[in-house]
């Protein structure tokens, strides 16, 4: 077990045959984890669609309570962060750890921008008694009873998504530390690629949430 | 050796995604298709998701195993939605 | 060995080092990333959980001996029932075989040094232990009386520590996901040279099919439990009809996971049975491809049938009919397996060692469990039998008679490899016999009283059922005795058994080509595989 610590930039772990095999395994592990993310959010989408078909008017009213402009702004922020993340993977694969570090930093700033916008949206809702639980809910604020369910899904889905953004920020800081220490090489970049995959999945979920919540 | 995606491709991917976002907003806000607004928005969102999968997430250059993982997952999700909806709308 | 492999395995014998004595101290176990040691930790913990869950079962059976309350009130009985169910499902049968035997065998069987992610493997053990601790501790915070299914709206309102058990199940879900993820990558990427997919041992195929379900279905359990927690903590009303929610939607969510979870429980023992039957018939497995693909078939179909748990819950008749028909389909791949196992034994040199006795007992018990499953799948019949003891008997035939019997059989079969010691054959056979007899005495009467109308989950009942209940309770004692003898035989072997040879059963899969117990990195020389497993004659 206690073999000397290997330099992961040039050598593979003991139970693999090659760096190539180790990288492919790690990447597939991340993909499988992304599959579980899709299924988990998928459950919420199932609930969303079912209640949407049950209470169509409430969904129209609910959508009008949200500001689509803020939603669109956040969409663009996330898309741009996806681009910088993808580019960070490219630079790491070329061995340019410093350039990658800057790109990951921009991605992190985008994540913060996203959360700031979210904060203003949430606090506005809660201020108007539009949080469907605890003692905050104000029934007179909406016309349809089902709107409560819409807002419930709004908070659950964007909340869980926001939680993933925060986890992503944590992962970014981890990457930045490792990039700064020059720990990656063109042959060893699984961590950067894995966080990238995670970040893109978070983006894809938002790609669906944006029209479903804000537009239609 | 793994495929390195050049910055040009990444930038074009970003461009495509932004254009599709504009189309989503435009069609949802200013084109009234009734019921089909939802279908159209989901169609565009799926195009965007595919773009991210294929280029940003490198599925275009990846092996079949990872493709199978993600697309079969989406298949199972479709079953979940489909059967639940079948029950609720035949009651 | 036939011509399966060419491995030099004499060199490591001389060094005297194996995975068990390569380092020592409790800390070297708790921080190990060796898949074999993690597997041993799973064996201890899961057997521990099994004994706790079994204790609740024995107490319940004792209470049911008489029609009047004996020593429990209704509330206590409901809690005992919930704990029995939750412990057995989430801590024993679901993690069961993949974690405790799969972990040990999968890398060796495919010629790898370890699983793909050894640290994640250890993490998944801690998830199980931590989740189980949270769930079991809820006993001291008022307990839970919802049944292991946590149906809303009751579970959203019920006092007691529902949130704690739900949190525990959520954490244990991660354990299951991580194990499944690890196994899929290991099977895809770490096979030895020459080990093509069509040369994988059938136990590995069954773990593969199981892992797919673990990865795809378990996240849905996670989100279901999160929604339930949101409902309890914030009172948001997603499953509450008063607030516009739909309680049946909870059941859709729950069974989208929990039906495939049944196959997480039963596919791995099917893999074990394939190994045992081929080895103890000393004959090539009949229909290798059919058995391998039927495992995948079962795991695919498992996602199409969850509605059969909801025939009387207000689901639409159209959906119920569709689910009823699709459920019948599960019978096809299952029957393919049963026929192939039977055909493997035909004209083989069958020997009735302990693992084979357990395998034969699996065959008959599982056949009864599976066929009664078809009765229940029929929509009209289920309306009559739903929530009766018929259902209880049916799923115990599958989960106890199938999964647990298969697991004990597998433990006996691979015990010489895991511990390096032989067990006492006489004790082993006695345990197999007692388990088989005790099991049938316990659960056969339940089919009868269920079809007569005895509802499940009641702690008192009408006197007309007392003879059946009495028989069932007596059977539970025989069953307990058998299980204790089995565990005693295993314990005694590990403590003071004779040294096991490398290949006591003349098996053909790769684990029999390494010393017992295996060295730290499994193989001294990584093997090259040149043919299929099970090439006896």
**pLDDT, tens digit, 9 for 90 and up, residues A90-120:** 999 999 999 999 999 999 999 999 999 999 9
Q: Taking CA atoms, what residue in C is nearest to A23?
A: C189
Residues of chain C neighbouring B73 (CB-CB closer than 8 A): 216
Report yes or no on A8 lying in a domain.
no
Cβ neighbours of residue C435 closer than 8 Å, sequence gap 6 or more: C358, C361, C405, C408, C479, C482, C483, C486
If you ran DSSP here, which 8-state letter would residue C140 be given? G
Query: In CATH, what number is assigned to the domain containing residue A160?
Result: 1.20.120.80
Q: How large a percentage of chain C has pLDDT more than 90? A: 81
Please indicate, yes or no, whether residues B19 and B39 belong to a single structural domain of this protein.
yes
Q: What is the mean pLDDT of residues C292-319?
A: 93
Distance (Å, rounded) from C-alpha A110 to C-alpha A79?
Answer: 9
Taking the C-alpha atoms of residue C405 and residue C398, their distance in angstroms, rounded to an integer, is: 10
- The dihedral built from the CA positions of residue C289, C93, C300 and C374, taken in this order, carries a sign that is positive
Residues B86, C314: C-beta atoms closer than 8 Å: no
Question: For residue A136, is pLDDT > 80?
Answer: no
Domain that holds residue B86: 62-91
* DSSP states along chain B: -PPPPPHHHHHHHHHHHHHHHHHHHHHHHH---TTHHHHHHHHHHHHHHHHIIIIIT-GGGS-HHHHHHHHHHHHHHHHHHHHHHHHHT--
Chain B segment 3-62 residues within 8 A of C by beta carbon are none
Whether residue A152 contacts residue A132, with contact meaning beta carbons closer than 8 Å, is answered with yes
Asked if C316 and B65 come within 8 Å (Cβ–Cβ), the reply is no
Are B6 and B27 part of one and the same domain? yes
Task: Check residue A5 and report its DSSP letter.
Answer: P
**B24 and B41 both lie in a single domain:** yes
- Any domain includes A6: no
Nearest neighbour of C249 by CB, restricted to A29, A37, A47: A47
Residue A10 has pLDDT above 90, yes or no: no
Give a yes or no: residue A11 inside a domain: no
Per-residue pLDDT tens listing for chain B (91 residues): 478 899 999 999 999 999 999 999 999 888 888 788 889 999 999 999 999 999 999 998 888 899 999 999 999 999 999 998 888 888 8
pLDDT interval class at C5 (50, 70, 90): very low
Q: How far C238 CA lies from chain A's nearest CA (Å)?
A: 7
Asked whether residue A36 is domain-assigned, the answer is yes
pLDDT of the residue at C233: 84
Count structural domains, chain A: 1
How confident is the model over C387-424, as pLDDT tens digits? 999 999 999 999 999 999 999 999 999 999 999 999 99
Output the CA torsion C214→C216→C217→C223 (10° steps).
120
In this prediction, residue C9 carries a pLDDT of: 42
User: Is residue B42 domain-shared with residue B78, that is, in the same domain?
Assistant: no
Same domain, B13 and B37: yes
Q: Are residues B42 and B17 in the same domain?
A: yes
Distance from CA of A31 to the nearest CA of B (A): 7
Residue C301 C-alpha, separation from nearest chain B C-alpha, in angstroms: 11
Q: Nearest CA of chain B to the CA of A182: how many Å? A: 19
3-state secondary structure at position C117: coil
Residue C505: pLDDT over 60: yes
Domain count, chain B: 2
Same domain as B43, residue B74: no
**Pairwise pLDDT comparison (A8 vs C181), residue with the higher score:** C181
Chains touching A (3+ CB pairs < 8 Å): B, C
C-chain residues within 8 Å CB-CB of A46? Answer: 252-253
Domains of chain C, earliest start first:
11-513 (1.20.210.10)
pLDDT-derived band at C18, boundaries 50, 70, 90: confident
Could you tell me how many CB contacts below 8 A there are between chain A and chain C? 109
Whether residues B66 and B49 fall in one domain:
no
Q: Which two tokens stand for residue C29?
A: 């176990």
C428 exposed, middle or buried (CB, 10 Å; 0-12, 13-18, 19+)? buried
Minimal Cβ distance to B89: which of A31, A53, A86: A53
Residues B73, B50, single domain; the answer is no
Q: Which residues of B8-43 are buried (b: 16+ CB within 10 A; e: fewer)?
A: eebeebbebbbebbebbbebbeeeeeeeebbebbee
C7: its two tokens: 């491995």
pLDDT tens-place string over residues C450-476: 999 999 999 999 999 999 999 999 999
Same domain, yes or no, for B9 and B24? yes
Q: State the residue range of the domain holding A30.
A: 20-215
CA–CA gap between residue C52 and residue A37 (Å, rounded): 33
Which of A31, A49, A82 has the CB atom closest to B85's CB atom?
A49
Nearest to C319 among B73, B79, B86 (CB): B86
Q: How many Å apart are CA C498 and CA C72, to the nearest integer?
A: 46
This model of the complex carries an ipTM of: 0.92
Using the predicted structure, report yes or no on whether residue C13 has a pLDDT greater than 60.
Answer: no
Contact between C113 and A25 using a beta-carbon 8 Å cutoff: no
| Of C443, C96, C36, the residue nearest C267 (C-alpha) | C96
pLDDT beyond 90 at A7:
no
- Can you tell me the mean pLDDT for C283-291? 94
Same domain flag for B3 and B28: yes
> Do B53 and B69 belong to one domain?
no
**What is the least distance, in Å, from the CA of C526 to any CA of chain A?**
10
- For residue A34, give the chain B residue with the closest CA: B70
Across the B:C interface, residue pairs with CB atoms under 8 Å apart total 43
The CA-based dihedral angle spanning residues C115, C120, C121, C127, taken in that order and rounded to the nearest 10 degrees: -160
């Amino acid at each position: 077990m206690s073999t000397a610590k290997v330099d992961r930039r040039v050598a593979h772990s003991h139970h693999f045959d090659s760096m190539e095999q180790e990288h492919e395994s790690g990447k597939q592990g991340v993909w499988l984890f992304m599959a579980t993310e899709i299924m988990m959010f998928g459950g919420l989408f199932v609930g969303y669609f079912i209640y949407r078909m049950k209470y169509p008017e409430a969904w129209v009213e609910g959508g009008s309570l949200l500001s689509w402009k803020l939603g669109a702004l956040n969409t663009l922020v996330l898309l741009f962060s996806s681009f910088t993340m993808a580019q960070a993977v490219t630079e790491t694969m070329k061995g340019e750890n410093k350039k990658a570090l800057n790109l990951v930093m921009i991605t992190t700033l985008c994540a913060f921008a996203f959360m700031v916008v979210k904060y203003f949206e949430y606090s506005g809702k809660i201020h108007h008694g539009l949080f469907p639980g605890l003692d905050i809910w104000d029934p007179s604020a909406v016309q349809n009873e089902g709107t409560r369910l819409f807002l419930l899904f709004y908070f659950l889905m964007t909340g869980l998504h926001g939680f993933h953004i925060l986890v992503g920020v944590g992962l970014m800081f981890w990457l930045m530390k490792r990039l700064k220490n020059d720990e990656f090489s063109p042959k060893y970049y699984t961590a950067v690629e894995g966080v990238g995959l995670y970040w893109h999945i978070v983006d894809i979920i938002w790609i669906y949430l944006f029209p479903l919540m804000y537009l239609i | 050796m793994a495929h390195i995606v050049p910055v040009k491709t990444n930038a074009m991917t970003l461009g495509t995604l932004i254009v599709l976002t504009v189309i989503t907003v435009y069609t949802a806000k200013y084109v009234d298709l009734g019921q089909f607004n939802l279908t159209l928005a989901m169609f565009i969102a799926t195009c965007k998701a595919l773009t991210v999968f294929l280029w940003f997430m490198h599925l275009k250059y990846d092996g079949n195993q990872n493709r199978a993982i993600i697309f079969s997952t989406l298949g199972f999700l479709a079953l979940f939605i489909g059967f639940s909806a079948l029950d609720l709308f035949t009651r | 060995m036939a011509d399966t492999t060419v491995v030099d395995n004499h060199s490591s014998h001389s060094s005297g080092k194996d995975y068990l004595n390569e380092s020592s101290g409790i800390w070297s176990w708790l921080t190990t990333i060796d898949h074999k040691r993690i597997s041993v930790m799973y064996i201890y913990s899961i057997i521990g959980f099994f004994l706790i869950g079994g204790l609740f079962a024995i107490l319940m059976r004792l209470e049911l001996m008489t029609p009047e309350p004996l020593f429990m009130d209704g509330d206590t009985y409901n809690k005992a029932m919930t704990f029995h169910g939750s412990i057995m499902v989430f801590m024993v049968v679901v993690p069961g075989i993949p974690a405790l035997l799969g972990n040990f065998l999968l890398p060796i069987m495919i010629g790898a040094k370890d699983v793909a992610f050894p640290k994640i493997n250890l993490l998944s053990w801690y998830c199980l232990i931590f989740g189980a601790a949270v769930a079991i501790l809820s006993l001291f915070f008022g307990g839970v009386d919802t049944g292991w299914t946590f149906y809303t709206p009751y579970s959203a309102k019920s006092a007691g520590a529902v949130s704690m058990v739900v949190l525990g199940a959520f954490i244990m879900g991660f354990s299951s996901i991580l194990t499944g993820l690890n196994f899929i990558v290991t099977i895809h990427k770490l096979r030895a040279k020459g080990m093509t997919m069509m040369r994988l041992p059938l136990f590995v195929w069954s773990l593969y099919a199981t892992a797919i379900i673990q990865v795809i279905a378990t996240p849905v359990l996670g989100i279901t439990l999160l929604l339930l927690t949101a409902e309890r903590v914030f009172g948001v009303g997603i499953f509450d009809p008063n607030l516009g929610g739909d309680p049946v939607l909870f059941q859709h969510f729950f069974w989208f996971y929990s039906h495939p979870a049944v196959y997480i429980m039963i596919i791995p023992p099917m893999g074990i049975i394939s190994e045992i039957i081929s080895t103890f018939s000393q004959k090539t497995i009949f229909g290798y491809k059919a058995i391998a693909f039927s495992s995948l078939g079962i795991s695919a179909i498992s996602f199409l049938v969850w509605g059969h748990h909801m025939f009387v819950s207000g689901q639409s008749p159209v959906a119920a009919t569709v689910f009823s028909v699709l459920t019948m389909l599960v019978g096809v791949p299952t029957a393919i397996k049963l026929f192939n196992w039977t055909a493997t034994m035909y004209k083989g040199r069958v020997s009735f060692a302990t693992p084979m006795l357990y395998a034969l007992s699996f065959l008959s018990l599982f056949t009864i469990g599976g066929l009664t499953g078809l009765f229940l799948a029929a929509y009209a019949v289920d309306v009559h039998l739903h929530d009766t003891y018929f259902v209880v008997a049916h799923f115990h035939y599958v989960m106890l008679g199938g999964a647990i019997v298969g697991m004990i059989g597998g433990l006996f079969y691979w015990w010489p490899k895991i511990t390096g010691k032989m067990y006492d054959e006489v004790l082993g056979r006695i345990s197999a016999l007692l388990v088989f007899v005790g099991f049938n005495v316990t659960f056969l009467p339940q089919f009868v009283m269920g079809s007569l109308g005895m509802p499940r989950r009641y702690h008192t009942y009408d006197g007309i059922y007392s003879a059946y209940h009495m028989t069932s309770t007596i059977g539970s004692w025989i069953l307990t005795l058998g299980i204790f003898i089995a565990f005693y035989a295993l314990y005694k072997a590990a403590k003071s058994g004779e040294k096991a040879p490398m290949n006591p059963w003349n098996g053909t899969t790769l684990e029999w080509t390494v010393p017992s117990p295996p060295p730290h990195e499994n193989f001294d020389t990584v093997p090259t595989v040149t043919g299929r497993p099970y090439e006896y004659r």
